[in-house]
Amino acid sequence: MDYRNETGWENIELNNITEHSTKKRLLKSIIKVAVITLIICCVFMIITPFVAIPLFLNHHIDYKGYATEKYPLQDIYYASDYSLDETQIYLETEDELNVWCSEIYVEKPKAVIIYLTGIVQPSITYFYGHAAWMKGNGYATILLEVRGHGQSDGNRICLGYEETNDVRAVVNYIKNNEKYEDVPIVLHGVSMGGSIAINAFGQINDIDAIIAMSAYSSFEDVVMDLAEQYHIPGSIRIIEKPLVKLALQTVFGTDTVNKVKPIEQIKNAKERPVLLVACTGDTEVPSISTERLKKANPNVHTWMRNSQEHFIVENCDFKNILDDDEYCKTILEFLNQLM
């Protein structure tokens, strides 16, 4: 008998068993790592909105007074920069916050326009350029610095859910002031300010018209639109959207988040004039939000500008808006039709 051959076969068989066992252990390890990774990703997806949203919201926006690389629209302007006479006022809201306003009055105004601005920038003082422009065309203006920003009270950014109280305080001031008797009230807001304008318009019947620029249809919508823009898979976005909404509900309340959002409030405009403005190349609030708002209320007017400007005004040059002929013409035509 050839013991060498028998031993060789036994060694080969033993090696095969060992190799098979090694592959099996490796496969189990891979599966285990994959499952652990999946669990960690799921936990991360669930937790992230509940951590990120409060961190993002729970602070006061203080403007630096100078441009930075991340936030280039951080300057602070003054009425005197535009040779404007203003009245600075603080108005108390129903929930007992004081909000700062700058009023620029003209005799027998065609309308009074309340300006509203975005989440982090620009400061409401960027609208002094608009105020000077409007004064030359017979319109009074009030620059409203909403809660959580600049000189107004509040330590939370409210994304349009609670700022209707701020707008209502200004509307009450106007309605209780003889010099504004029978004068139309118009809201003009950009970015978050555009969404605030729509939400306030839907809840305050004394407002006669709005101009909402780069407004999001809802905050959860714009978060998902930006996620798509960054190529996050659709399956993840489907899971994440209700979590973002739930996180918002923990901050602002279920009824508020469900009802106080532009996609719902724009339906309450009824026959009152609305101008929605968006830029087709906007990467901060993609123009699909404006399309959704238009679908929710087909009666609104829209201007889709072929540009990438989030703040609509050409080159974000709020100081020299008269250089932007197309913008000035569109806004004035809308306002003049109210007369």
Please report, for the chain, how many H helices and E strands are present, in that order. Answer: 10, 8
Tens-place pLDDT, residues 237-284: 888 899 999 999 999 999 999 999 999 999 999 889 999 999 999 999
Percent of the chain topping pLDDT 70: 90
Report DSSP state, residue 48: H
pLDDT average, residue stretch 43-64: 86
Task: Give the domain-ending residue among 201, 230, 253.
Answer: 253
Based on the domain organization, do 115 and 85 belong to the same domain? Answer: yes
Asked if residue 236 and residue 162 are part of one domain, the reply reads no
Of 52-61, 73-82, 177-186, 228-237, the poorest mean pLDDT is in: 228-237
Q: Do both 115 and 30 map to the same domain?
A: no
Question: Is the same domain home to 208 and 315?
Answer: yes
Cβ neighbors of 282 (< 8 A, separation 6 or more) are 214, 308, 309, 310
* DSSP secondary structure letter of residue 149: B
Q: Which domain holds residue 45?
A: 1-57+219-253
Examine the domain organization and report whether 113 and 167 are in the same domain: yes
Q: What is the pLDDT of residues 195-238, one digit of tens each?
A: 999 999 999 999 999 999 999 999 999 999 999 998 888 888 88
Q: How many CB atoms lie within 10 A of CB 336?
A: 12
Mean of pLDDT values over 107-113: 97
Q: Are residues 190 and 48 in the same domain?
A: no
Claim to verify: residue 7 and residue 37 sit in the same structural domain: yes
Strand order in the sheet with 87-92: 87-92, 98-104, 140-145, 112-116, 185-190, 209-213, 274-279, 301-305
Higher pLDDT, 39 or 152: 152
Pairwise CA distance, residues 167 & 113, whole Å: 11
Let me know whether 121 and 265 are in one domain. Answer: yes
CB 153 within 8 A of CB 97: yes
Q: How confident is the model at residue 187 (pLDDT cuts 50, 70, 90)?
A: very high
Q: Would you say residue 299 has pLDDT above 70?
A: yes
Query: Number of structural domains, the chain?
Result: 2
What whole-number distance in Å separates Cα of residue 107 and Cα of residue 135? 10
Say which residues have a Cβ less than 8 Å from residue 68's Cβ, sequence separation at least 6.
Answer: 74
**Which pLDDT band, with edges at 50, 70 and 90, does 69 fall under?**
confident
Distance CA 99, CA 185 (A): 18
CATH of the domain at 101: 3.40.50.1820
Q: How high is the pLDDT of residue 37?
A: 67
Mean pLDDT for the chain? 91
- Given 198, 230, 253, the domain boundary residue is 253
Span 328-335, average pLDDT: 97
Residues 11 and 119 in one domain: no
pLDDT of residue 45: 65
Q: In terms of domains, do 179 and 203 share one?
A: yes
pLDDT band of 34, cuts 50, 70, 90: low
Residue that finishes a domain, picked among 230, 253, 276: 253
Pairing of strands 185-190, 140-145: unpaired
Query: Across the strands, what pairs with 103?
Result: 87, 142
> At residue 26, does pLDDT exceed 80?
no
- Do residues 233 and 151 both lie within one domain? no
Which of 105-119, 128-142, 221-235 has the least mean pLDDT? Answer: 221-235
Instruction: Provide the 8-state DSSP code for 311.
Output: T
Cis-peptide into 122, omega within 30 deg = yes
What's the mean pLDDT in 106-128? Answer: 96
Radius of gyration of the chain (CA): 28
Nearest C-alpha neighbor of 217 from the set 158, 170, 267: 267
pLDDT above 60 (res 21) = yes
For the whole prediction, is pTM greater than 0.75? yes
Q: Are residues 265 and 289 in the same domain?
A: yes
Tell me the per-residue pLDDT of 5-20, one tens digit each, with 9 for 90 and over.
Answer: 556 656 666 566 666 6
